[in-house]
Amino acid sequence: MSANKISMAVIKRLPKYHRYLAELIDKDIKRISSKELSEIIGFTASQIRQDLNNFGGFGQQGYGYNVEDLYNEIKKIIGLTRTYNTIIIGAGNLGQALANYTSFGKFGFNLKGIFDKNPKVVGITINDIEVIDVENVKEFIKNNDVEIAYICTSRSGAQEVADVLVEAGIEAIWNFAPVDLEIPKEIIVENVHLIDNLLTLSYFLKDND
């Protein structure tokens, strides 16, 4: 809240708060102190209090935090009190897997369209959505209030697709292609570079055995 800049480190922790608070609600736990939360979530109590106080004073001295209230506050902060229209570009293995993921919908990310350039794939139906020729993506974004695009194309096709998305006025890109996209900085980009992730594992494993 207000104008003071929240650091990316804090923002990246928010989903974890959300996840653990949901669990506490499931377990019917009504209140929790930063110390108790610290023990299950793995952040220090101090960090938890600092993090939360970036957004407001949600706790009460001598009592702690009301689990349900805090959960709802976190939902508001993360932006889970409204829905987002999304599309997938690239109906390969990964694109199809994401299209079939039902949990995104539960969080309010509604898949509106799937696009591909391959004529063999255009027209097939994935999770009740027909794959459309990517030629039509610009028009589709404008007509359907699409805010987020998941790029699931090959490495080589990704930048070209991104350019079209930007032209069409996309607001955020979730990029699964192993490239760093050149995108105007007002557009939000999250990269999932799977290979990079794997290489972290090999880094630590290389000298084993």
Residue count (the chain): 209
Render the chain in DSSP notation, one character per residue.
Answer: --SSPPPHHHHHHHHHHHHHHHHHHHTT--EE-HHHHHHHH-S-HHHHHHHHHTT----BTTTBEEHHHHHHHHHHHHTTTS-EEEEEE--SHHHHHHHH-SHHHHTTEEEEEEEES-TTTTT-EETTEEEEEGGGHHHHHHHTT--EEEE-S-HHHHHHHHHHHHHTT--EEEE-SSS-----TTSEEEE--HHHHHHHHHHHHTT--
The 28-57 site mask, x for binding DNA (CB under 7 A), equals: -----xxx-------xxxxx-xx-xx---x
Rule CB under 8 A: is residue 58 a binding residue for a copy of itself? no
Rule CB under 8 A: is residue 84 a binding residue for a copy of itself? yes
Rule CB under 8 A: is residue 3 a binding residue for a copy of itself? no
CB of 119 to DNA, least distance (A): 45
Rule CB under 7 A: is residue 8 a binding residue for DNA? yes
Between 39 and 182, CB nearer to DNA: 39
Question: For residue 11, which amino acid is it?
Answer: I
Rule CB under 7 A: is residue 68 a binding residue for DNA? no
Q: Is 181 annotated as a binding residue?
A: no
Between 60 and 83, CB nearer to a copy of itself: 83
The 96-135 site mask, x for binding a copy of itself (CB under 8 A), equals: xxx-xx-xx--xxx--------------------------
Neighbouring residues of 30: CB distance < 8 A, sequence distance ≥ 6: 66, 67, 68
Rule CB under 7 A: is residue 10 a binding residue for DNA? yes
Rule CB under 7 A: is residue 16 a binding residue for DNA? no
Q: CA-CA distance, 22 to 191, in Å (whole number)?
A: 26
Q: Is 123 annotated as a binding residue?
A: no
Question: Which residue from 1, 3, 4, 9 is in contact with DNA, where contact means CB under 7 A?
Answer: 9
Rule CB under 7 A: is residue 113 a binding residue for DNA? no
Chain residues in the site for DNA (CB under 7 A): 7-10, 33-35, 43-47, 49-50, 52-53, 57-65
For the annotated binding site for NAD(+), the residues are: 90-95
